[in-house]
Amino acid sequence: MTTTTPTPTATPAAPVLVELTGLRKEFGGAAGGVAVDDVSLTVHEGETLALVGESGCGKTTLTRLLLRLLTPTAGRVSFAGRDLATLSPEELRRLRRQMQVVLQDPYSSMNPRWRIADIVAEPLVTHDPAARGRRGRAGTRRRVGELLEAVGLTAQMQDRYPHEFSGGQRQRVSIARALALEPRLVVLDEPTSALDVSVQARILDLLAELQQRHGLTYVFVSHNLAVVQQVADRVAVMRRGRIVEVGDAAQVFHAPRHPYTRQLLDAVPIPDPRRARRAGGTAPQAPADAVVPADGAGADEAVPDGGGAVDPGGAP
């Protein structure tokens, strides 16, 4: 796999894929409250929109509303021009194929007793049970193998179990699973936060490469501004359930408009010489998580203790 530098793939003229209008989510119960408050936001075809903000500000809730895994208290979500609230369960099910999600901790969403083959094939089987018959066992194996190879693993790895993989490899498996139905949108909720820095860099490279190859649209949730700076075309800054600022990544990072965005940026040294010059100092040290190794080779996907029998295979 080549190391790719994420480049903005979307122009402002790209069609809107997702439109959120006046979205609100209140949770009941003792711990309840307003988690998402009057959010209006668009996501354009082919772009990476990053959603940043401190823990508890409502990022995950907003993505769950977008995916209609949660019903909004008020407001509207439309995907490819269709208001999700107006769809029948069957229509929603079909539309869902086009929107997939990758979470921070793939292990928690993988049945430890399932082989990778079954984990990756699951969306294929659930969304299109008839296809299983058409494709047959051999066809499904072939498709899973292709998906694993597309994320830098090997087709043979499908016979293994989740515990036989490293964290980075497991995240590759969950990306393969997310791609199984050829979605248009992938929501990535802190996809690299649980990984160490070098593995994180490779996964970000992989995501950039897959985006280019498949014309994917990403909603990328992260609290790591260095990561966001690397991946985002546009950035939405969230605070206490509201979007306080949204703009092109360069504008948000270099000319933030909202005081809260400035606060966020000041709290974390972002390796950008322009900001350092403006501040009258020398370039700040990149935080540990901002370090992206130039070299794509290495042992990042090495298997953790006890998994010595596993060959990292096609991982870069």
Q: Tell which one of 14, 27, 161, 247 touches ligand ATP (CB under 6 A).
A: 27
56 binds, among ligand ATP, Mg ion, none (CB under 5 to 8 A by kind): ligand ATP
Minimum CB distance to Mg ion, residue 218 (Å):
16
Q: Is 223 in the site for ligand ATP (CB under 6 A)?
A: yes
Closer residue to Mg ion (CB): 98 or 193? 193
According to DSSP, the β-strands at 48-52 and 234-239 are parallel
Alpha carbon distance 239, 19 (integer Å): 19
Q: Is 52 in the site for ligand ATP (CB under 6 A)?
A: no
Token digits for 246? 């949204």
Q: Is 140 in the site for Mg ion (CB under 5 A)?
A: no
Residue 79 three-state SS: strand
Alpha carbon distance 89, 74 (integer Å): 19
Q: Which stretch binds ligand ATP (CB under 6 A): 25-33, 154-162, 252-260, 291-299?
A: 25-33
223 binds, among ligand ATP, Mg ion, none (CB under 5 to 8 A by kind): ligand ATP
Alpha carbon distance 279, 199 (integer Å): 32
Minimum CB distance to ligand ATP, residue 31 (Å):
5
Alpha carbon distance 196, 206 (integer Å): 15
Minimum CB distance to ligand ATP, residue 26 (Å):
9
Contact pattern for Mg ion over residues 234 through 273, marking x by CB under 5 A: ----------------------------------------
Q: Is 108 in the site for ligand ATP (CB under 6 A)?
A: no
Q: Is 71 in the site for ligand ATP (CB under 6 A)?
A: no
Closer residue to ligand ATP (CB): 53 or 162? 53
Q: What is the DSSP string of 234-263?
A: EEEEEETTEEEEEEEHHHHHHS--SHHHHH
Phi/psi at 114 (5° precision): -90, 145
Nearest to 15 by CA among 39, 41, 51, 46: 46
Q: Is 102 in the site for ligand ATP (CB under 6 A)?
A: no
Q: Tell which one of 17, 35, 44, 60 touches Mg ion (CB under 5 A).
A: 60
Minimum CB distance to ligand ATP, residue 75 (Å):
15
> Could you tell me if 51 and 63 are in contact, meaning their C-beta atoms sit under 8 angstroms apart?
yes
Minimum CB distance to ligand ATP, residue 29 (Å):
6
Torsion on CA atoms 36, 90, 172, 295, rounded to nearest 10: -70
Instruction: Please calculate the CA angle 221-103-246 and round it to the nearest 5 degrees.
Output: 10
Residue numbers of the site for ligand ATP (CB under 6 A)?
Answer: 27, 31-32, 35, 53, 55-61, 223
